[in-house]
């Protein structure tokens, strides 16, 4: 298993334009992604760089339609159907927005969820397996990995407490049971060990400010 994962991992290419940066941010509901994304935007803008923030699924006209179709689905979808819908949205986002933006030096893309969401949600929690999800990402343009992925790691109880406080209506994934969420957490933790050079696992049980500082310190090592 490990060997075949290694051979797939070696197929991925990194963004090519020197001086541009591709960042993704990952974590389950309540992990604080939106807050940290705003902080990253500020840091990047203060450096005089161009920044583009996008979310998945979505970010393009076509992708937003897919987002609606998935998150409001009243039919339980086959995991492979789910996976292909996310990948369709991703391929379009890469072609229309991410790749053209990254072509210009001094550009930073911040993406709210990317490949690790598919690995954790469809690969682990929906049991498709990492290998299947990685194999589907072999082809251009899906074979683009971020320079850095920030994984905001929280415990199950924290996620549920924060979800209760928010009190929003639950979508397709949010209405899943406790076991599903625990699998997501386990999945993300496994992924940060499978891709240690790319994924930075951050303890998001800490205060917002503490997490922001950890991200800022890391960004200092990455930004031009
Ligand atoms: P969203 O409301 O954007 O979630 P959040 O605010 O927690 O980021 O909804 C996106 C949902 O889609 C979320 O539950 C995670 C799920 N998802 C997958 O299952 N696979 C994927 O590849 C992606 C990108 C998202």
Identify the CATH number of the domain in which residue 187 sits. Answer: 3.40.50.300
Of 191, 204, 157, 185, which Cα lies nearest the Cα of 34?
204
Of 22, 84, 79, 89, which Cα lies nearest the Cα of 49?
22
Range of the structural domain that residue 123 is part of = 2-218
- Ligand 1 mutation pick, 24, 33, 34, 57, max ligand atoms within 8 A of CB: 57
| Residue 104 CA to ligand 1 centre (angstroms) | 28
- Ligand 1 contacts CB of residue 159 (under 6 A): no
How do residues 123-136 score in pLDDT, each as one tens digit? 999 999 999 999 99
H runs (alpha helix) in the chain = 2-9, 33-46, 61-71, 79-93, 99-102, 115-117, 130-136, 156-166, 178-194, 208-222
Specify if 223 maps to a domain: no
pTM of the model: 0.95
- Ligand 1 contacts CB of residue 59 (under 6 A): no
- Ligand 1 contacts CB of residue 137 (under 6 A): no
Instruction: Report, as an integer, the average pLDDT of 4-21.
Output: 80
Residue 173: what pLDDT?
A: 79
Specify if 40 maps to a domain: yes
- Ligand 1 contacts CB of residue 39 (under 6 A): no
Dist CA 27 CA 112 (whole Å): 9
DSSP strand pairing (107-112 vs 148-153): unpaired
Specify if 224 maps to a domain: no
| Residue 102 CA to ligand 1 centre (angstroms) | 23
Residue 223: what pLDDT?
A: 87
- Ligand 1 contacts CB of residue 113 (under 6 A): yes
DSSP symbols for 97-114: IIHHHHTSTTEEEEEES-
**Rounded percentage of the chain residues whose pLDDT exceeds 70:** 98
| Residue 224 CA to ligand 1 centre (angstroms) | 30
Atom of ligand 1 nearest to the CA of 34: 6
Domain count, the chain: 1
Residue 221 has pLDDT above 80, yes or no: yes
Residue 166: what pLDDT?
A: 84
Mean model confidence pLDDT for the chain: 93
- Ligand 1 contacts CB of residue 29 (under 6 A): yes
Of 99, 79, 174, 91, which Cα lies nearest the Cα of 138?
91
| Residue 84 CA to ligand 1 centre (angstroms) | 14
Residue whose CA is at the smallest distance from ligand 1 atom 6: 29
How do residues 17-63 score in pLDDT, each as one tens digit? 888 999 999 999 999 999 999 999 999 999 999 999 999 999 999 99
Specify if 47 maps to a domain: yes
Dist CA 200 CA 151 (whole Å): 6
Confidence class of residue 103 from pLDDT cuts 50, 70 and 90? very high
Dist CA 126 CA 80 (whole Å): 9
Atom of ligand 1 nearest to the CA of 90: 24
How do residues 127-167 score in pLDDT, each as one tens digit? 999 999 999 999 999 999 999 999 999 999 999 888 888 88
Residue whose CA is at the smallest distance from ligand 1 atom 4: 29
Residue 13: what pLDDT?
A: 81
Specify if 105 maps to a domain: yes
Residue 188 has pLDDT above 90, yes or no: yes
Q: How far is CA 49 from CA 19, 20, 82, 214, in A?
A: 10, 9, 35, 20
Residue 16: what pLDDT?
A: 67
- Ligand 1 mutation pick, 84, 111, 117, max ligand atoms within 8 A of CB: 117
How do residues 197-218 score in pLDDT, each as one tens digit? 999 999 999 999 999 999 999 9
DSSP-based three-state secondary structure for 147: coil
């Amino acid at each position: 298993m490990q060997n075949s994962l290694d051979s797939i991992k070696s197929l991925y290419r990194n963004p090519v334009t020197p001086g541009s940066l591709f960042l993704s941010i990952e974590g389950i509901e309540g992990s604080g992604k939106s807050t940290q994304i705003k902080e990253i935007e500020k840091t990047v803008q203060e450096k005089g760089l161009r920044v583009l923030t996008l979310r998945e699924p979505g970010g393009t006209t076509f992708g937003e339609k897919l987002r609606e179709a998935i998150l409001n689905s009243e039919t339980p979808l086959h995991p492979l159907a789910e996976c292909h819908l996310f990948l369709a949205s991703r391929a379009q986002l890469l072609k229309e927005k991410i790749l053209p933006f990254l072509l210009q030096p001094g550009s930073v893309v911040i993406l709210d969820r990317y490949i690790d969401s598919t690995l954790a949600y469809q690969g682990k929690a929906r049991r498709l397996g990492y290998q299947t999800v990685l194999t589907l990402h072999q082809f251009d343009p899906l074979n683009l990995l971020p320079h850095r992925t920030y994984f905001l790691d929280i415990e199950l109880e924290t996620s549920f407490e924060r979800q209760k406080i928010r009190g929003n209506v639950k979508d397709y994934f949010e209405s899943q049971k406790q076991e599903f969420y625990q699998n997501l957490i386990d999945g993300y933790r496994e992924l940060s060990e499978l891709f240690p050079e790319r994924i930075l696992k951050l303890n998001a049980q800490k205060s917002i400010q503490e997490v922001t500082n950890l991200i800022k310190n890391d960004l200092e090592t990455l930004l031009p």
